[in-house]
Structure formats: structure tokens, C-alpha cells
């Protein structure tokens, strides 16, 4: 039998190990998330008579499952691959974590926060050390850890803001702020523009949410510091300068109408156009990958997109929103609401009402992924999708506990 005490013990360590190993190991975090799912299933079985379902639970269940169920129609229609479930499959598997944590926290207090903060410190420091090793010792042009550089960048940015928001009410404030700074540096070393540009946007969101607490001089000092850091990087780092110059050059090409020559940003605009055309072609259930490739080729023949953009595998949109619309149609729109819009609204509304640190962190966490999704489809990646599902389950469970005045230390 899995007792309350045993479940808390195991989950406390998993709360530490998931962020600690997120970027410093090759998918070890996914293994511990899988263990958390199995432990949660066991805990729910042994405590099945204590599980109560509320309206909030139903909403959470829909949020974590709708991406999976929204992919069923197109998967059946295609009949050739289970790839359509890559994003939703990992989220729906995290539902037991939510129910088990919620059930445990409904009758018990916990020290999950302490473990999670230690995990964030280890994870952010570890991400920086790995980035430093790859960038300065191995002389890699872009840090990627055990992932693609773009995915490393998104996760490093995500860890950094988790560390920053938890530092506000923590005894480990100094270490968490240091972790934030180091993880931001690790993000910059990836030269992933989608993650780097997210940093000032998330800082702006954070200040806006806490505008009543923010002091004017701190905001001004922060803006000046950010400007100085960016200016210094531009002047001192050849790679950073070339990345900024390349972006500026691409925007110039796009503005002049020469979109096809901008092989990164310009191609993305064409991917989005192709994905939107796919949505228009099959707005209810979406268009299969093979037909999206055929559609993109036809768009090239019609001189609506460039040849290079037309050859992208599976018609990949490089945008979470357009990808879900193209692949799942209106079901994709519902999925977007379920995995991004609804959680963001729930967490933000909870923060406005209760002003808790967990809700602030949750709001920034989902906001980050909403931004990352503008330039990539991060939630279909194994590690990112698993981490996002795990954190949503944890945040939802703790917010459910806070609604009933239970503390989570």
C-alpha cells in the first residue's frame, strides 16, 4: 500500500529531480515524470475512496486531455502514423499526477516547494555549467546540451523564470536569483531568437502583473541594465552580433517583399501561410501530413511560397498555433484554448484573487510557452512536452489546494 507519507516522500524527490536533471542529463527528467505517473496511479488506487471530483477537476481534465482527443479524428483519417498524438499524449498522461497531488494536498500540507526550489537551483546552475563547457571548452557555435539548441533555449528560459518568480518569497532568494541570471546566460549561448526575445517580454509581463508592488526606480534600473547587457553583448560577442545583424537583414528582405530570400524568418512566414491554407482546406479535422506536403508544393507551383519553404517535412509550421490549426482544424483551436489559453486565464485569475507565489510562477510559466510557440512547435518535443504536462499538473493541483486554504511550503 502506498501511504500518504510514502507518496509525499517520493513526490518531493521527483519535484527536485525533474528540474535538476532537465537540461543536465539526456531525458532523465522524463523517466522521473514517468515514475511520478506510476506512483500517482498507485496512490489513487489505494486511496480511491478519498478521491472527489469537482467542477475545477473537470476543467483541468479537459485542459490536459483535449490536445490528445483533438488529434483522434485526423489520426483515424490518415491511418498511417501515431505522430499526431506526440503533443497531446504526454499531457494526458500527467492527469493522474494532478488527481493524486490534489487528493494528497486536500488533507495534508507539504514541503514540495523547498524541494522544487533546490531542484531549480541545481537545474539552472547545471544548465549554465553545461552551456559554458560546450561554448567555451568545446567551442560550439550554439549550445544545445543533449537537445536541439532551440529546445535547450526554451527550457533554459523556462527554468530561469521559475527560479526568478520563486525567489520572491524564498529563503533561498540569493541562489534562485543567481540561478535566474545563469540560466538566462545559458539561454543566450543557444542563440535561439525565440527564447532570447522571450526574456524581455516575460520580464515586462512580470512587471505588469506586479505593477502595484514594483518600484519605479527598480523598473528604470532594470530597463537600463537590460539595455547595457544587450549593448555589451552586441559589441563584445561576435556570435551575438551576427545573430542580431542576420535578423535585421532578414527583416529588411521581408519588408522589401523578398521573403523567400530570408531563409529563417521569411521561411517561417511561408510555413505559417501554408499551414493556414491547410486549415482552410480542411477546417474541421485538419489536413494529414502528406496532403500538407502536397499543398505546399502546389503553393510553390502557384508562386505563393518559395521552393525552399515548400519542401519542409510534413508541412511543419514552426508555430504551435498554426501547426495545431493545420493538423487538427477546429479541434486544434479547442486544443490551443485547453493547453494555453485556459491555464493562463486560470492561473492569472487565481493570482489576482489570492496573490500567491505559485500562481505567479504558473502564469509566467504558461506565458513563456505561449511566446515560444510563436516560432516553433515546442510541445511536440518529448522532453518539453513531458515537462510542460508535469508542471501544469503540479500547478493545477497546488492551486486547487490553495482554493481550499491548504498551504504548500
Residues 145 and 202 in one domain: yes
For residues 365 and 395, the answer to whether their CB atoms sit within 8 Å is yes
Average pLDDT of every residue of the chain: 93
Using the predicted structure, report yes or no on whether residue 214 has a pLDDT greater than 70.
no
The phi, psi pair for 408, rounded to 5°, reads -125, 105
Considering the domain architecture, whether residues 297 and 392 belong to the same structural domain is answered as no
Alpha-carbon distance of 171 to 375, in angstroms, equals 36
State whether 261 and 371 are in the same domain: no
pLDDT digits (tens, 9 = 90+) for 20-76: 999 999 999 999 999 999 999 999 999 988 888 999 999 999 999 999 999 999 999
Dihedral sign for Cα atoms in the order 257, 260, 261, 263: positive
- Per-residue pLDDT of 375-385, as tens digits, reads 999 999 999 99
What pLDDT does 128 receive?
97
User: Would 348 be classed as within a structural domain?
Assistant: yes
118 CA to centre of own chain = 20
- Region for 156 from its dihedrals, namely left if φ exceeds 0, alpha if ψ lies in -120 to 50, beta otherwise: alpha
Among 266, 282, 315, give the residue marking a domain's end.
315
Q: 74 and 167 share a domain? A: yes
The reply to whether 293 falls in a domain is yes
Q: Which residues pair with 110 in a beta bridge?
A: 408
204 in the same domain as 307: no
Q: How far is the C-alpha of 118 from the C-alpha of 138, rounded, in Å? A: 28
Note whether residue 240 is domain-resident: no
Q: Which domain holds residue 296?
A: 257-315
Q: Hey, CA dihedral for 8, 14, 15, 17, is it positive or negative?
A: positive
Has residue 407 got a pLDDT over 80? no
The number of CA neighbours under 13 Å toward the Cβ of 277 is 22
Per-residue pLDDT band at 406 (split at 50, 70, 90): low
Q: Mark whether 266 and 134 lie in a shared domain.
A: no
CA 309 → CA 38, 51, 227, 270, distances in Å? 42, 51, 35, 6
Distance between the two ends of the chain, CA-based, in angstroms? Answer: 26
Q: What is the enclosing helix (H) or strand (E) of 17? A: helix 4-21
Is 196 a member of any domain?
Answer: yes
- DSSP H helices in 210-356: 216-236, 238-255, 265-281, 289-301, 307-310, 320-336, 342-354
Whether 244 is in a domain gets the answer no
Total of domains in the chain: 2
If pLDDT is split at 50, 70 and 90, which confidence band does 218 have? low
Residue 218 lies in a domain: no
* pLDDT class of 260 with cuts at 50, 70, 90: confident
pTM for this predicted structure: 0.94
Measuring CA to CA, which residue among 225, 186, 15 is closest to residue 114?
A: 15
Going by pLDDT thresholds of 50, 70 and 90, the confidence category of residue 3 is: confident
Whether residue 287 is found in the same domain as residue 329: no
pLDDT at 409 over 60: no
- pLDDT class of 231 with cuts at 50, 70, 90: confident
Q: What is the pLDDT of residue 21?
A: 98
Distance CA 261, CA 275 (A): 20
Are 38 and 132 within one domain?
yes
The verdict on residue 228 lying in a domain is no
Residue of 249 and 62 predicted with greater confidence: 62
Identify which of 324, 248, 313, 318 has the alpha carbon closest to the alpha carbon of residue 286.
Answer: 324
Last residue of a domain, one of 315, 341, 362: 315
Q: Is residue 245 part of a domain?
A: no
Q: Which of 272, 290, 315 is the last residue of a domain?
A: 315
338 and 303, same structural domain? no
* Residues 59 and 203 occupy one common structural domain: yes
**116 and 161 housed in the same domain:** yes
Radius of gyration for the chain, computed over Cα atoms and rounded to the nearest angstrom = 22
Of the candidates 402, 338, 375, 365, the one whose C-alpha atom is nearest the C-alpha of residue 112 is 402
CA atoms of 130 and 159, how far apart (whole Å): 14
Residue 370 CA to residue 205 CA, distance in Å, equals: 12
Q: Tell me what percent of the residues of the chain surpass a pLDDT of 90.
A: 80
Please tell me whether residues 9 and 133 are part of one structural domain: yes
Q: Report the distance separating Cα 34 and Cα 83, nearest Å.
A: 20
Amino acid at each position: 500500500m502506498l501511504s500518504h507519507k510514502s507518496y509525499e516522500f517520493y513526490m518531493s524527490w521527483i519535484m527536485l529531480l525533474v528540474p535538476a536533471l532537465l537540461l543536465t542529463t539526456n531525458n532523465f527528467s522524463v523517466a522521473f515524470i514517468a515514475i511520478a505517473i506510476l506512483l500517482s496511479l498507485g496512490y489513487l488506487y489505494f486511496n480511491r475512496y478519498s478521491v472527489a471530483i469537482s467542477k475545477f477537476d473537470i476543467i483541468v481534465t479537459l485542459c490536459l486531455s483535449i490536445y490528445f482527443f483533438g488529434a483522434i479524428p485526423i489520426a483515424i483519417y490518415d491511418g498511417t502514423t501515431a505522430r499526431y498524438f506526440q503533443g497531446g499524449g504526454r499531457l494526458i498522461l500527467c492527469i493522474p499526477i494532478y488527481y493524486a497531488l490534489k487528493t494528497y494536498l486536500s488533507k495534508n500540507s507539504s514541503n514540495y516547494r523547498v524541494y522544487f526550489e533546490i531542484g531549480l537551483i541545481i537545474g539552472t546552475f547545471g544548465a549554465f555549467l553545461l552551456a559554458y563547457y560546450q561554448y567555451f571548452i568545446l567551442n560550439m557555435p550554439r549550445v544545445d546540451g543533449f537537445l536541439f539548441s532551440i529546445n535547450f533555449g526554451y527550457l533554459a528560459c523556462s527554468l530561469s523564470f521559475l527560479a526568478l518568480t520563486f525567489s520572491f518569497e524564498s529563503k533561498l532568494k540569493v541562489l534562485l536569483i543567481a540561478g535566474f541570471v545563469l540560466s538566462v546566460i545559458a539561454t543566450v549561448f543557444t542563440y535561439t531568437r525565440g527564447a532570447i526575445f522571450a526574456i524581455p517580454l516575460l520580464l515586462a509581463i512580470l512587471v505588469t502583473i506586479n505593477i502595484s508592488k514594483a518600484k519605479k526606480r527598480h523598473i528604470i534600473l532594470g530597463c537600463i541594465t537590460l539595455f547595457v547587457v544587450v549593448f555589451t553583448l552586441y559589441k563584445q560577442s561576435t556570435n551575438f552580433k551576427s545573430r542580431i545583424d542576420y535578423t535585421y537583414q532578414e527583416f529588411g528582405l521581408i519588408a522589401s517583399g523578398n521573403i523567400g530570400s530570408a531563409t529563417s524568418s521569411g521561411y517561417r512566414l511561408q510555413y505559417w501561410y501554408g499551414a493556414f491554407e491547410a486549415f482552410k482546406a480542411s477546417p474541421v479535422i485538419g489536413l494529414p501530413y502528406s496532403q500538407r506536403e502536397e499543398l505546399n508544393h502546389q503553393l510553390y507551383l502557384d508562386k505563393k511560397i518559395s521552393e525552399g519553404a515548400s519542401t519542409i517535412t510534413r508541412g511543419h509550421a514552426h508555430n504551435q498555433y498554426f501547426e495545431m490549426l493545420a493538423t487538427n482544424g477546429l479541434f486544434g483551436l479547442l486544443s490551443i484554448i485547453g493547453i494555453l489559453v485556459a491555464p493562463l486565464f486560470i492561473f492569472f485569475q487565481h493570482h489576482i484573487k489570492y496573490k500567491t507565489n505559485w500562481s505567479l510562477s504558473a502564469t509566467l510559466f504558461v506565458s513563456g510557452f505561449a511566446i515560444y510557440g510563436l516560432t516553433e512547435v515546442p510541445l511536440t518535443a518529448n522532453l518539453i512536452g513531458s515537462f510542460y504536462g508535469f508542471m501544469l499538473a503540479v500547478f493545477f493541483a497546488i492551486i486547487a489546494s490553495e482554493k481550499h486554504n491548504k498551504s504548500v511550503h
